[in-house]
């Protein structure tokens, strides 16, 4: 049985090779991306077994998703191929050297049709961690029910439940997101949130400190709350222990996927028995790898590459 099970939608990604409006690109690149897929690949590269649960269409984009995940050693046996809905699509452009823009084409997608019946109880029960995100809950009522069903099953079998809020304004309004995410938080053992997401779910104003938001979320049930602070690092709350970790400075090539890479690093260290400070540091390290390379997950490290960010500029490994 895999140690980590992730559940959600993985899409095909079309992106340009250069910087500027996509309409001027002479050729486009095809890839795959999704928050849950990034976590599965991230932990897998660190030597932890992982499985992914979701739906893809019976099309070339769906086959691309399965091929990439299999190639990274992620178990996709529980993925359902839906013959009546297309695989979701994400279009990404680097509008400037510092700003990326993402558009989703996922209404009516196979992934949005994920349902509670698609959640394999045996797979979830045999895992050590189930990881879900707020993105899945935002896709549709059936997808939200599937996420909740997975969390309930995991809790009933003593499996640790990880929830990343991953709020996407394009998918649902903040009022609806806050209600649903507060409900799901009650079933989570570990919660990941960005600074703004934490305040939104906690119902706090824009001036509230990250530690205040973390404590408010912890009062909803989770034993561990992690607030991701971008270039300022991260804050973790476990019981009464409040720990901060600094970000690793790198040249940012692509900011998309950093939060999911962070979650992968944190969970890998958690499964390795590391204390919360080391979990946060590992999360920050994988987040740095993510933004220092193009693509959501392509630049994530193997175990023996974790120290690459500590090397001097211009080092050549021979």
Q: Which parts of the chain have pLDDT scores under 50?
A: none
Q: What is the pLDDT of residues 196-206, one digit of tens each?
A: 999 999 999 98
**Which pLDDT score is estimated for 312?**
65
**Which pLDDT score is estimated for 170?**
87
- From the candidates 260, 304, 307, 315, give the one annotated as an active-site residue: 260
Determine contact, residues 50/44, Cβ cutoff 8 Å.
yes
List the structure tokens of 235: 């804050």
Can you tell me the distance from the alpha carbon of 283 to that of 290, in angstroms, rounded to the nearest whole number? 11
**Which pLDDT score is estimated for 221?**
96
Which of 53, 47, 88, 85 minimizes the C-alpha distance to 69? 53
The model's pTM: 0.94
Q: Return the DSSP state at 246.
A: P
List the structure tokens of 70: 């299999």
Query: Which residues are 127's β-sheet partners?
Result: none
List the structure tokens of 248: 């690793």
Can you tell me the distance from the alpha carbon of 200 to that of 185, in angstroms, rounded to the nearest whole number? 13
Which of 254, 298, 304, 232 minimizes the C-alpha distance to 95? 254
Determine contact, residues 25/128, Cβ cutoff 8 Å.
no
Domains of the chain: 4-306 (3.40.1190.20)
Q: What is the pLDDT of residues 265-281, one digit of tens each?
A: 999 999 999 999 999 99
Q: Is 77 a catalytic residue?
A: no
């Amino acid at each position: 049985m895999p140690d980590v099970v992730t559940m959600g939608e993985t899409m095909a990604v079309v992106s340009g090779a250069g910087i500027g409006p996509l309409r001027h690109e002479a050729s486009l690149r095809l890839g795959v991306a999704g928050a849950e897929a990034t976590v599965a690949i991230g932990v897998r590269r660190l030597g932890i077994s992982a499985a992914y649960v979701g739906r893809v269409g019976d099309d070339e984009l769906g086959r691309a998703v399965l091929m990439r995940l299999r190639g990274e050693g992620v178990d996709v046996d529980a993925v359902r191929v839906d013959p009546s809905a297309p695989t979701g699509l994400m279009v990404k452009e680097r509008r400037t050297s510092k700003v990326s823009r993402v558009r989703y084409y996922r209404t009516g997608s196979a992934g949005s049709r994920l349902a509670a019946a698609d959640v394999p109880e045996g797979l979830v029960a045999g895992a050590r961690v189930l990881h879900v995100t707020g993105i899945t809950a935002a896709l549709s009522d059936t997808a939200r029910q599937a996420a909740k069903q997975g969390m309930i099953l995991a809790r009933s079998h003593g499996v640790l439940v990880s929830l990343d809020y991953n709020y996407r304004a394009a998918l649902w309004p903040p009022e609806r997101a806050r209600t649903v995410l507060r409900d799901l938080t009650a079933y989570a053992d570990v919660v990941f949130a960005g600074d703004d997401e934490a305040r939104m779910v906690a119902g706090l104003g824009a001036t509230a400190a990250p530690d205040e938001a973390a404590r408010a979320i912890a009062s909803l049930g989770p034993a561990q709350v992690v607030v991701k602070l971008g270039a300022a690092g991260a804050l973790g709350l476990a019981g009464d222990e409040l720990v901060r970790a600094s970000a690793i400075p790198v040249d940012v090539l692509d900011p998309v996927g950093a939060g999911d890479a962070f979650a992968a690093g944190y969970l890998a260290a958690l499964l390795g028995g590391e204390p919360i400070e080391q979990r946060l540091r590992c999360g920050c390290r994988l987040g740095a790898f993510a933004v220092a390379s193009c693509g959501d997950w392509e630049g994530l490290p193997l175990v023996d590459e974790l120290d690459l960010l500590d090397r001097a500029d211009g080092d050549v490994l021979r």
